[in-house]
Amino acid sequence: MAYDGCPQRCWGQGRGMRSAIIAILSALGCFYLLFSMPSAQAQTIVSEQDRLFQQMLRNPKNLDITFSYVKVATDNGDYEAAIGALERVLFYQPNLARVKYELGSLYFRLGSYEMARRYFREALACPDIDATTKALIEASLPDADKQTQQSRLSGFAQTGLRYQTNASYAPTGGIVRLGGQDLALLPSATRGSDTNWFALAGISHDYDLDNQRGDTLETRFVGYTTEQARFSDLNVDQFDLSFGPRLALGTDLLPGATIKPYVVGGNTWLGGASYLGSAGAGISASIPVGARLTLGPEFEWRHVDFNNEDVVPLSSFNSGDWFTTGIALSSPLTQQLRLDTKGSYRRGDSQFNFQSFNQWVGEAALSYSFTPPFGGAPRNWNLSPFVRLIETDFDAPNPAIDPATTQRDTEWIAGVMLEAPLTKTFGVSTVVQYDRTNSTLPNFRQNNFSAMVGPTAHF
Amino acid sequence: MDLRAHLTILTRLLTILLSAFAPMTRALAENFGKVGAVNQDATGTPPEGSAHTLVVGAGVVYKENIQTSAQGSTQILFPDQSTLNIGRNSSLVIDEYVYDPKTNHGSMLISLAKGTTRFVGGLISHNDGVVVNTPVAALGIRGGVATVVYPVSPKLAASDPNLAGCSGQMVIGHVGTLTLKNAVSQVTVRPGFAACVNGTNIPIVAPFRISDLVLANVVSTLRSAPGQNGGASTLPAAPFIASNQIGTVILNRPVHPPGADPLGYTSIFGGGSDVVRNKSQATQLKSGVAPPPYGAH
């Protein structure tokens, strides 16, 4: 389940944008297909692997051919072929730290963490190990070790500063509509920039039931807090918690496919007062399709309860039931490039039809993983441009705002994220993003540029 | 034409026929496994042939019995790019190997009479599956890597409480789906787990997590001992390995807690911002408004 917090995304401007979302998702699908189809280049790589294998069969002791074969097979994702060749090299010379690390990394990528751990430990014991290889192993050995445990706890945390040009989400023109009349906001309520201190944590716990289907009990937690420099009434404290079993479908038709029913709940405080609580249940699935694509369909129901009595008629969203369905697509396009996309639809039913809505979301992130520009860092850096398009159509005009105009908002967000691990545990992450909302009502037209930076930790 | 003439013609015909079949037999032999590495003593005994010492590059023929001594070990390469590591004190026969390189389909059946072997899968195991038989059970390997030990020695059994009482076949799953069955039961063995079967008619015990100690013991029998070189004439040295960019990969973390991926990360901030916006935009209307500035319409 992807955490989605409170989706008070005010969009509008309708059908055209919905078409745009569909078009973007379609384009991303085509993008994936282009990368995943057996292109001429991919065929060439396979042919090259075959050619090198034939040479290796004729002369197994030729290490130049063997290492070329290992490289091509690895690039081709045929890790088992590379394992067979490198294990032969260990027959010739059993104490090669780099070969053992490479073997461990191949098993690691195949999910054979017990073999990865074994080879990592053997590599550390080799007399020829160099400092770089040792650092690489010391970064990944704990990961491999953890994956062989029945109870596995992992986490991500960040703290830092966030600057926003429009921290109060005031309308762009300083104009609001009230009772069908356009009015000017008082200067105290107009757009204002602000900086906040933030901290977030994401924790996952998997308890392996140790059956041969691979079923696990999954717990996911997200916590998020901010402390504004100016708008202290907009300080956020938020958590979201879900729990459910992930069950293997265990069918020959869908090998590796899992399904996860879960319960979920959370609460958000604004300015120290409880503002929004939610609870519900959902079901999600993970379906590998071939070696390079995983589909993640999901459905979730949440009852949301807003504590906004003082401004109920003026809020875009209010208490009710939200039903969300969507599908995520995740694909390693190459060894370094990964595409994650998601399309979802949400129906929000509230007491008032002007606070009931249909919402469409399309989002994508392309992650480029690369070797750090300076040596010694045992983790790859990641550069991830991302985009998110959101359209929200409410069912009816809000009579308190404009009895003649139904709120329709279209929001788009674009940005880029750089995650730069500096050690096996700690690093720095920075994000810059711009978001803009177009709306049928001036109240909700806004734009905001924000930048976040701060240290990160993984465990 | 007298009898002698008939015999001469018959002999010539037989010679031609045998000459025609000889390349096919050789082709069959060449299409089989190749010895990729070997530590002595390791021998191969073709059906109805005599035992010969295995050397690197030698072919392995249909139903050849491969045996290793207490110091011997070997690796066999197969045309579908699968490999078989055979440890010390082992004896096995490749009962069946059929592979069509045009379709990448085929079949493979191995009989392990005793010892230790690790199968690293290739195209056959990915597309059709491979079977490893021992005197007590049959192991089906679908798309992966597996280690088989038969029989389990008392020393190995004593190294892990999960192996207490295990004296028959142990199977360790590394990659892919393994199905172990005997006459009375069948279990699936997932990666990182092992199972033991003590006899054909004894139910297979539930698989258990393989310990690193057991794995270390098993792995050590599947490679060269100190002083052995697998039949290589030139030993690979560390600088040569480094120059080939072996051991330089930086691994990504295997799990991603919430917020550790770009979409999850931005959705956390988005969730917080959404709440702020809902409250803030409603409150703005209550905070006071004035007539619109000139030209606002």
Binning pLDDT at 50, 70 and 90, where does residue A18 land?
low
Q: Are strands A151-164 and A11-12 parallel, antiparallel or unpaired?
A: unpaired
Percentage of residues in chain A having pLDDT higher than 90: 73
Binning pLDDT at 50, 70 and 90, where does residue A11 land?
very low
A299: pLDDT strictly greater than 70 = yes
A43 vs B148, residue with greater confidence: B148
Residue A112 and residue B145: Cβ atoms within 8 Å? Answer: yes
SS3 readout for A274-318: EEEEEEEEEEEEEEECCCCCEEEEEEEEEEEEECCHHHHHHCCCC
Q: What is the pLDDT of residue A190?
A: 74
**CA gap B115, B80 in Å, rounded:** 24
Among A1-5, A278-282, B260-264, the range of highest mean pLDDT: A278-282
B297 touches chain A (CB under 8 A): yes
Nearest CA in chain A to B211: A114
Among A34-48, B15-29, B73-87, the least confident range: B15-29
Among A29-33, A57-61, A447-451, the range of highest mean pLDDT: A447-451
Among A142-151, B14-23, B209-218, the least confident range: B14-23
Residues of A in contact with B55 (CB under 8 A): none
Q: What is the pLDDT of residue A36?
A: 52
Q: What is the mean pLDDT of residues A63-74?
A: 94
Residues of A in contact with B87 (CB under 8 A): none
Residue from B34, B78, B25 nearest B60 by CA: B34
This model of the complex carries an ipTM of: 0.86
**CA gap A164, A194 in Å, rounded:** 6
B125 vs A29, residue with greater confidence: B125
**Mean pLDDT of all residues in chain B?**
86
Could you report how far apart the first and last alpha carbons of chain B are, in Å?
A: 121
Residues of B in contact with A129 (CB under 8 A): none
B226 vs A237, residue with greater confidence: A237
Strand order across the beta sheet in which A181-185 lies: A175-178, A181-185, B289-290
Nearest CA in chain B to A189: B284
| DSSP, residue by residue, A365-398 | EEEEEE--SSTT-SS-EEEEEEEEEEEEEESS--
**CA gap B90, B74 in Å, rounded:** 10
Segment 179-218 of chain B within 8 Å of chain A by CB? 187-193, 207, 209-210, 212, 215-216
B289 vs A160, residue with greater confidence: A160
Q: What is the pLDDT of residue A3?
A: 36
> Is B11 in a helix, a strand, or coil?
helix
> Could you read off the pLDDT of B78-134 as tens digits, one per residue?
999 999 999 999 999 999 999 998 898 999 999 999 999 999 999 998 888 899 999
Half-sphere exposure of B222 (CA within 13 A, CB side): 23
Q: List Cβ neighbours of A181 (8 Å cut-off, separation of 6 or more).
A: none
CATH number at residue B67: 2.60.120.1440
Residue B267 and residue A182: Cβ atoms within 8 Å? Answer: no
Q: Is the distance from CB of A415 to CB of B267 less than 8 angstroms?
A: no
Smallest Cα distance from B1 to chain A, Å? 50
Q: What is the pLDDT of residue A112?
A: 97
Residue A311 and residue B79: Cβ atoms within 8 Å? Answer: no
Q: What is the mean pLDDT of residues A144-163?
A: 97
Buried b (16+ CB within 10 A) or exposed e, A128-139: bbeebbbbbbeb
Considering the four listed CATH numbers 3.40.1190.20, 3.40.50.1100, 2.40.160.40, 2.40.50.140, the one that applies to the domain covering A11-35+152-458 is 2.40.160.40
Residue B83 and residue A88: Cβ atoms within 8 Å? Answer: yes
> Is B169 in a helix, a strand, or coil?
strand
Percentage of residues in chain A having pLDDT higher than 70: 89
Topology (CATH level 3) of domain A39-147: 1.25.40
Residue A222 and residue B284: Cβ atoms within 8 Å? Answer: no
A438: pLDDT strictly greater than 80 = yes
| DSSP, residue by residue, B110-135 | EEEEEEEEEEE--HHHHHT-EEEE-S
Among A204-218, B192-206, B246-260, the least confident range: B246-260
Other Cβ atoms within 10 Å of A12 Cβ, number: 23
pTM score of the predicted model: 0.86
Q: What is the pLDDT of residue A309?
A: 74
Other Cβ atoms within 10 Å of A309 Cβ, number: 6
Residue B36 and residue A60: Cβ atoms within 8 Å? Answer: yes
| DSSP, residue by residue, A17-61 | HHHHHHHHHHHHHHHHHHHHS--HHHHHHHHHHHHHHHHHHH-TT
Binning pLDDT at 50, 70 and 90, where does residue A337 land?
very high
Residue A209 amino acid letter: L
Q: At A14, phi and psi to the nearest 5? A: 20, -115
A410: pLDDT strictly greater than 90 = yes
Q: What is the pLDDT of residue A14?
A: 47
Other Cβ atoms within 10 Å of B212 Cβ, number: 15
A–B: how many Cβ contacts below 8 A? 389
Binning pLDDT at 50, 70 and 90, where does residue B245 land?
confident
Find the domain containing B106 and state its range.
Answer: 14-236
Segment 45-74 of chain B within 8 Å of chain A by CB? 56-57, 73
Q: What is the mean pLDDT of residues A255-281?
A: 94
Residue B288 and residue A96: Cβ atoms within 8 Å? Answer: no
B277 touches chain A (CB under 8 A): yes
Test the B interface: residue of A93, A198, A275, A411 with most B CBs within 10 Å: A93
Percentage of residues in chain B having pLDDT higher than 70: 86
Residues of B in contact with A213 (CB under 8 A): 188, 190
B12: pLDDT strictly greater than 90 = no
Residues of A in contact with B256 (CB under 8 A): 156
Residue B249 and residue A102: Cβ atoms within 8 Å? Answer: yes
Residue from A424, A422, A420 nearest A370 by CA: A420
Tokens 């500096």, residue?
A422
> Could you read off the pLDDT of B24-71 as tens digits, one per residue?
333 344 457 999 999 999 999 998 889 999 999 999 988 999 999 999
Buried b (16+ CB within 10 A) or exposed e, A426-440: ebbbebebebebbbb
**CA gap B262, B268 in Å, rounded:** 10
Buried b (16+ CB within 10 A) or exposed e, A371-384: ebeeeebbbbbbeb
Residue from A94, A115, A116 nearest A105 by CA: A116
Closest partner residue to A7 (CB to CB) among B263, B274, B287 is B274
Q: Following CA atoms B99, B100, B101, B104 in sequence, which dihedral angle do they give, to the nearest 10 degrees?
A: -80
Residue A114 and residue B268: Cβ atoms within 8 Å? Answer: no
Q: Is the distance from CB of A292 to CB of A332 less than 8 angstroms?
A: yes
Test the A interface: residue of B251, B256, B267, B283 with most A CBs within 10 Å: B251
Residue from A328, A228, A325 nearest A272 by CA: A228
**What is the number of structural domains in chain B?**
1
Test the A interface: residue of B54, B78, B223, B261 with most A CBs within 10 Å: B261
Closest partner residue to B250 (CB to CB) among A9, A226, A379 is A379
What is the residue extent of each domain of chain A?
11-35+152-458, 39-147
Q: Tell me if B90 is assigned to some domain.
A: yes
Among A126-135, A256-265, A302-311, B29-38, the range of highest mean pLDDT: A256-265
**CA gap A72, A79 in Å, rounded:** 10
Nearest CA in chain A to B32: A57
Binning pLDDT at 50, 70 and 90, where does residue A26 land?
low
B242 touches chain A (CB under 8 A): yes
Residues of A in contact with B237 (CB under 8 A): 93
Residue B284 and residue A201: Cβ atoms within 8 Å? Answer: no
Q: At B145, phi and psi to the nearest 5? A: -130, 135
Other Cβ atoms within 10 Å of A454 Cβ, number: 18
Q: Is the distance from CB of A161 to CB of A427 less than 8 angstroms?
A: no
| DSSP, residue by residue, A202-271 | EEEEEEE---TT--EEEEEEEEEEEEESS-GGG-EEEEEEEEEEEEE---SSSTT-EEEEEEEEEEEEET
Q: Is the distance from CB of A230 to CB of A167 less than 8 angstroms?
A: yes
Binning pLDDT at 50, 70 and 90, where does residue B236 land?
confident
Q: Tell me if B43 is assigned to some domain.
A: yes
**CA gap A317, A264 in Å, rounded:** 20
> Could you read off the pLDDT of B141-194 as tens digits, one per residue?
988 899 999 999 999 999 999 999 999 999 999 999 899 999 999 999 999 999
**CA gap A337, B46 in Å, rounded:** 49
Q: What is the pLDDT of residue B13?
A: 52
**CA gap B230, A273 in Å, rounded:** 72
